[in-house]
Structure 1
Amino acid sequence: MNFLRLARLLLGTVPGLACAAAPTAPATPITSKSEDETLARMVRAHVVFLGDDLLEGRGTGQRGHQVAALYAAAHFQRLGLRPAGDAGSFLQRAEFIESTHALDRGRFRFQPQAPADALVLEAPADVLVSPAPGETEVELTAPAVFLGYGIRAPDFNHDDLAGVDLKGRFAIVLSGSPPWLPSEPRAHYAATKAEVLAATGAVGIISLTTPRDHARYPWAFRINSSRFPAMRLIDADGKIYLGFPSLRANAGVSHGSAQKLFSTLGKNFDTTVAQAEARERVGFAWPGTFTLGAAATVRKASSANVVALLPGTDPALAGEPLVVTAHLDHIGIGPAIDGDAIYNGVMDNAMGSSILLTLAELFARGPAPRRPILFAALTAEEKGLLGAYQLARRPPVGIRRFAANLNVDMPLFLRPTRDVVGWGAEHTTLGRVLDAAAVRQGFKLHPDPLPDETLFVRSDQYPFIREGVPALYLGTLLGSPEDAFLKNRYHKPSDDLAQPIDWPSAGAFTRVFSEIVRTVAADPAAPRWHPDGFFRKQFAPDR
C-alpha cells in the first residue's frame, strides 16, 4: 500500500477532497436515552481501535500516534467536516524539543555551612535531577532558600516569596500547593510555580515531596514516569514556550530523602509541612550550598492536533466557534511491567477521544448548529498540555476567538454510573448548562472528588483558560473501582482493553455531553466568566 498516497487522502491534500463542505441534509441526531446502546456501540468501535496494541500506546511523535491521527482525520473526512489544520488539511502541526533524562547520572549534594559531612542523595533512588529543557548537561553550585510551598497567591492574602531574595539561589519548595486553597486555585498555583520562581531570579528549584503527595504518587511511580521523554513546545521564533531557561538545574526529592535533608538542620520535615499547611510562615535561608548535576539527550520532534470544523448557520458567530477537545495521545512504549511494555491508555484517553469522534458524527448528521463547532483531537497532553497550548494560542485561520471549550479526559466507566463531574463549573455560566443537562438526562452532578489531584490544570482546558476562554472539563465520579484504577492501572500497561468497561455508561455519558454541546452551540451569546471569579480575574478581566 502507498502510505504517502493514503496520508494525502486522509489529510485532505488530494485535489477535490481538501475543502469538502459540511453536510447540510437535515437529520435527527441520536441523543435520546433510548439510543444509549447505539451511542455505546459507536464509542466502543473507536476505543477498540485506538486502544489496541497496534497503536503502541499513541506516544507523542511516535508511529502509533501518527496512525491514530490519520484515523481521526479519516473519520472527520468521512463526515464531511471542514479541514481546519495547516495547508487545507486536518492536521495542525506542533514542534517540540524532547529531552530524555539520564536518571542515573543525576547528582545531588548538600554541603552544610558548619563543618560536617556532606549529604549526598543517590539518583534516581532518592532524587530526580534534570537540566533546563533543551540543555544536555548542567553542573551548578549555589546557596538556597526554603520557601514553604513557594506560592504567591494575592487573592488569598498569601505570599511565600514576600521579602525573599532568590537571585542566584535555589528555591527549595514543598511539592504542590497548600490544602487550604480551593481546588481550582490550588491547581493553578501549583502549575505556575516554576513560572513565578523563574521571574524572581532563582537558578533552580528543589521540590520536596510532601507526605500527602507521597501517598498519591509513590516514588517508584515517579521514577517510572521520568523514564519517558519530556517535551516542551517550540514557538514560531524558535524559543521554548514555558521553558524557563534561567532555572538551570531542578530536582525532585523523595519524601524519605526530604526527611534526611531536614534532619541535617535538626528540623523535622513532616512537622514543617504541617505548619505550612496551617498557613504558618516556615521559610528560611538554608545554611550551606547545594550542587546539582544532570544530563539529558535532546532532539527535536513533531506531532499534530487533528482539527475539524462544523460550520454554523449564524454568520455573526462564524469566527467564534465552540471548541470541543479530547487528547488523542498517551505515553507510548515504556518500561515493561509484568512483561507488558505498551501503555495503551484505553481510559486515558482513548475513551475521551472516542467520545469526541462520536460527538462529531452526531452533529455532522445535522441539523447544523447556530454556532460553529471545532472538534479537536489534541496531541501531547501527556507531555504538558502542549497540543492544547498550540491550538489555544494559534487558532485556525478565520477564528477570531474561541467562545468556550468543552473538554473530556479519562472518564472512567468501570461500573454502571450516571454520575458526572464538571471541573470549573462554578467559574462560568457553563456550570448552569451542565446542571440543567444533568437534571434532564437523569445524571447526578458532583463536585471535584479529588481536590488534591489538581486535575483542573492537568488537562487540556487549562491552556484555553489561560487565554481567557471559559472552559469546562467533564469526567466521572470516583469511588472504590476508580481508586483501584488510579493505584494499579493509571499510566501503566494494564490500562488496556482487558479491563472491565461498562459500555452503556459510556453511551449515556456521551448523550449528556451532546446535550451540553448542543445547548452552547445554539445560544447566540457566548458563555461568560462569573464577574468575581478567580480565573476571570487572572486571565480574562475584559471578557
Structure 2
Amino acid sequence: MFRAFTSGVAAAALLFAAGSALSQDFSAERISNDIRTISADEFQGRYPGTEGERMTLAWLQAQYEAMGLQPGGPDGQWLQPVHLKRFTPVEGAASASWTGPDGVSHPLTAGTDVVLRAATNDGRATIRNAPLVFAGYGITAPERNWDDYGDVDVRGKVVVVMGGEPEGELFNGAYDTNYESGAYKADEAFRRGAVGIVTLVPQPAASPMWQRAAQFGNRTRTLTPGAADLEFSMAINHDVAHQWATAAGLDIEQLGSIGSGAFKAVALNGVSLSVDAAETSETLVTHNLLARIPGTERPNETIIYSAHWDHVGGEAQHPNTPGDDKIFNGAWDNASGTVGVVEMARQLSQAPRPERSIVFAHMAAEEMGLMGAYGYAADPVYPLETTVADINIDMLPLSGPTRDIPIFGKGQNDLEDRLQALAEPLGRYVTDDSMPEQGFYYRSDHFPFARMGVPAIMPWHGWDWVEGGKEAGEAAWRAKFGADYHKPSDEWSADLNFTSAVENLTLLYLLGVDLANGEDWPGWKPTSEFAQVRARSDAARQ
C-alpha cells in the first residue's frame, strides 16, 4: 500500500510540475501585501485580548467570507473562545512539610527548600501525609522498551521524578523527545492517579542554579488548557531529596542507574508529604478563528492547516523596549504564516471540493505557550480521532529557491515521506531542521496536535539555496533570525523574498489535496513517542 501511495503522489508532483495538475496560483505579491496589512502598526503587535486581536480576527473573517468558506468554529461560528487562566501565588500561603518513619514533621521553606505551585484549575491545594514514590525519569515509553514506573501503584501518592530524559540514541540522540518535558511527566503521573509531582533538581540548596530557580518560582503563570489536573507541582533540591532517601532507608547508589533502563520505581517507605498552596487567578479570553471546506464523501474526516495569528504586542506589553519603536509587528512571526494559511485556503477554495473536510485554523496565544492550539486540542471542534493530519505554518521562508525542505521532528511520522515523494520529482528533498538544541518540534502549534496523537508536520526554512548553496543559505538565515526574531525590527519590507515561500506552499497544497482525497491515514513511525497515543483511538479510524 505504501509503495502504491508514494508512486501516486510522486506522479501527482510530476503532473503539477508539467502544469497539468490541480489549478493553483500562489502569489508572492499577494502574500507580501497581506503581510504588510496585518503587521502594520495599527494592529499593535497582535497581542491577545487587545484591539489588535479584534482587528486581526476581523480581517481574517473578511478574507474567508470573500472566498465563500463556511465558519469552522463551534456552533457554526467563526471564533472558538479560549479561556486562559493566569495564576499568581498568594503571598505566604505556600507551605510544605514531610514526615519520616519516626513520625517527626520537618517543615520545608517555600522559595528556599522547595518551589511549590498549586496545579489545579481552582488554584488551591491541600494534601495531607501523601506517600512518596521515586519514579526515576517518570517515563513510560513502550516503543523504547522503557518503563520507569514498573508495577508500582501511585494512586493517591506523590511522584518524585528527575528532570529531562536519558542521554543517548535510544531517546533520539541530539534531538529531545517529548519525554523530557515536565508536561509529559505530569500527564503520565496524573494518568496513573497521582495527586502531585515533585521534580528533583540535582543541585545543592546553596548552588546559584537552585537559588535562581527558587527566586522566580512565584511568578504569574498561565495554565495550559488540558494540562494534567494534579493538585500541585513542586521542585526540590538535592539536599531535600537526600533527607527523604535517608529517612526511607534507601541507598541511592544501590538503586541502579536510572538511565540504564533497568530501574523501576520505588516507594519511599514511611515518608509522606503535606502541602498547602493558594493562588489568585484571572482569566484572559482570546479566540481561535476557523474556516472550513466540508468534504463531499467523508466530511467527518478532517485535515487542518494551522498558523498562529498573534505576536507579542507593543508598548503596553513592553514599555521598557529601548528606542522609539516599541511595536513588535511580527511580520515574519507570524503574519507570514497567517497569510500563508489564508493563501492556502484561497487556492483550495478554487479547486474541486475534496472528499475529506479541510479546516483552516488560526490559533491564538502561541507566543504565550501554544495556548490557542492547546485550547483546541483540549476541546476540539472536530474529533481528534478522525483528524487526518495537522499541517502547521509558522514563519514562511524568506529567500530565493531552495533544494531542501527542513521540517521539525524528522523521523516522527510518515507525513515527511509523503512530502518527500512530492518534492523529489521537483529536485527537492526533506531534511531535519539542523538545530537540535532549539527543540523546535515542541515549540509551535503543531505540537498540541502531535501530543494528542494527530500526525503533524511543520516545514521550516531551507538553507540549501539553488544559488549559493548551504553556506550562503545558512549565513543569511542566521543573520535574519538574529536581527529580527521577536524584535520591533520584524517589519514588512518591499524587498522580502517570497520565492521559497511559494515553493513550500505549493508542496503543502499538494500534500493537503492528496490527504483530502485519499482514504488512508498517515501514521507515526514505530519509534515515535506519539504512536502509543494514536493507537488508543485506532477503532475510530477502522
TM-score strictly above 0.5: yes
Q: Distance in 2 between matches of 1:483 and 1:130?
A: 38
Going from structure 1 to structure 2, the CA distance change for 1:173 and 1:58 (only over 3 Å counts) comes to farther
Matched to 1:471, the amino acid is: A
Q: Distance in 2 between matches of 1:369 and 1:219?
A: 56
Going from structure 1 to structure 2, the CA distance change for 1:524 and 1:282 (only over 3 Å counts) comes to closer
1:238-387 correspondence runs (5 A):
241-244=226-229, 247-252=230-235, 258=237, 261=240, 275-279=257-261, 281=263, 294-311=277-294, 315-332=296-313, 334=317, 338-339=321-322, 345-366=330-351, 368-369=353-354, 371-382=356-367, 385-387=370-372
Aligned to 2:249: none
Matched, 1:100 2:102: no
Q: Distance in 1 between matches of 2:271 and 2:385?
A: 53
Question: Are 2:133 and 2:157, in contact at CA under 8 Å, matched by a contact in 1?
Answer: yes
Matched, 1:133 2:120: yes
Aligned to 2:111: 122
Going from structure 1 to structure 2, the CA distance change for 1:262 and 1:396 (only over 3 Å counts) comes to closer
Q: Shift of the alpha carbon at 1:416?
A: 7.9
Going from structure 1 to structure 2, the CA distance change for 1:164 and 1:531 (only over 3 Å counts) comes to closer
1:498-517 correspondence runs (5 A):
503-517=498-512
Matched to 2:30, the amino acid is: M
Note the residue ranges of structure 1 that are not aligned, 5 or more in a row: 1-25, 32-37, 212-216, 234-240
Q: Deviations over 1:84-136 (max 9, x none)?
A: 23454422x2342512324976857676969999764637xx97532123234
Question: Are 1:57 and 1:344, in contact at CA under 8 Å, matched by a contact in 2?
Answer: yes
Which of residues 182, 198, 204 is equivalent to 2:196? 204
Q: Distance in 1 between matches of 2:451 and 2:497?
A: 35
Matched to 1:151, the amino acid is: I
Aligned to 1:496: 490
Aligned to 2:72: 84
Q: Distance in 2 between matches of 1:62 and 1:42?
A: 26
Matched to 1:325, the amino acid is: S
Q: Shift of the alpha carbon at 1:304?
A: 2.5
Q: Shift of the alpha carbon at 1:451?
A: 4.9
Question: Are 1:99 and 1:133, in contact at CA under 8 Å, matched by a contact in 2?
Answer: no
Range moving further from structure 2, 509-518 or 329-338: 329-338
Q: Distance in 2 between matches of 1:405 and 1:509?
A: 16
1:387-426 correspondence runs (5 A):
387-388=372-373, 391=376, 401-410=386-395, 413=398, 418-423=403-408, 426=411
Question: Are 1:437 and 1:516, in contact at CA under 8 Å, matched by a contact in 2?
Answer: yes
Q: Shift of the alpha carbon at 1:435?
A: 0.1
Q: Distance in 1 between matches of 2:214 and 2:36?
A: 29
Alignment: residue pair count: 484
Q: Shift of the alpha carbon at 1:319?
A: 3.8
Question: Are 2:82 and 2:372, in contact at CA under 8 Å, matched by a contact in 1?
Answer: no
Going from structure 1 to structure 2, the CA distance change for 1:306 and 1:290 (only over 3 Å counts) comes to same
Which of residues 172, 188, 192 is equivalent to 2:160? 172
Q: Shift of the alpha carbon at 1:394?
A: 5.9
Aligned to 2:515: 520
Q: Shift of the alpha carbon at 1:456?
A: 3.8
Q: Distance in 2 between matches of 1:403 and 1:419?
A: 25
Q: Distance in 2 between matches of 1:161 and 1:488?
A: 46
Matched, 1:159 2:119: no
Matched, 1:187 2:169: no
Q: Deviations over 1:339-385 (max 9, x none)?
A: 48766555443332221122122333445555542211122445565
Question: Are 2:190 and 2:228, in contact at CA under 8 Å, matched by a contact in 1?
Answer: no
User: Partner of 2:198: helix, strand, or coil?
Assistant: strand
Question: Are 1:428 and 1:527, in contact at CA under 8 Å, matched by a contact in 2?
Answer: no
Aligned to 2:61: 73
Going from structure 1 to structure 2, the CA distance change for 1:405 and 1:201 (only over 3 Å counts) comes to closer
Q: Distance in 2 between matches of 1:97 and 1:365?
A: 36
Q: Deviations over 1:509-533 (max 9, x none)?
A: 3333233234334x33344326857
Question: Whose radius of gyration is greater, 1 or 2?
Answer: 2
User: Partner of 1:377: helix, strand, or coil?
Assistant: strand
Matched to 1:130, the amino acid is: R
Q: Deviations over 1:452-507 (max 9, x none)?
A: 655445443344446654432322368677678889976x5558328996544434
Matched to 1:329, the amino acid is: D
Range moving further from structure 2, 396-405 or 368-377: 396-405
Question: Are 2:201 and 2:210, in contact at CA under 8 Å, matched by a contact in 1?
Answer: no
Q: Deviations over 1:383-433 (max 9, x none)?
A: 565544555576658999433321223456489855323346645542332
Question: Are 1:347 and 1:495, in contact at CA under 8 Å, matched by a contact in 2?
Answer: no
Q: Deviations over 1:41-92 (max 9, x none)?
A: 333333334444544443444443232222211111122222223454422x
Aligned to 1:432: 417
Question: Are 2:452 and 2:533, in contact at CA under 8 Å, matched by a contact in 1?
Answer: no
Q: Shift of the alpha carbon at 1:152?
A: 1.7
TM-score, scaled relative to structure 1: 0.70
Q: Deviations over 1:279-317 (max 9, x none)?
A: 4638665696666554433234433221112355xx323
Note the residue ranges of structure 2 that are not aligned, 5 or more in a row: 1-20, 204-208, 247-252, 464-473
Q: Shift of the alpha carbon at 1:201?
A: 4.0
Aligned to 1:17: none
Question: Are 2:414 and 2:525, in contact at CA under 8 Å, matched by a contact in 1?
Answer: no
Q: CA RMSD, aligned part only?
A: 4.9
Matched to 1:173, the amino acid is: V
Matched, 1:461 2:455: no
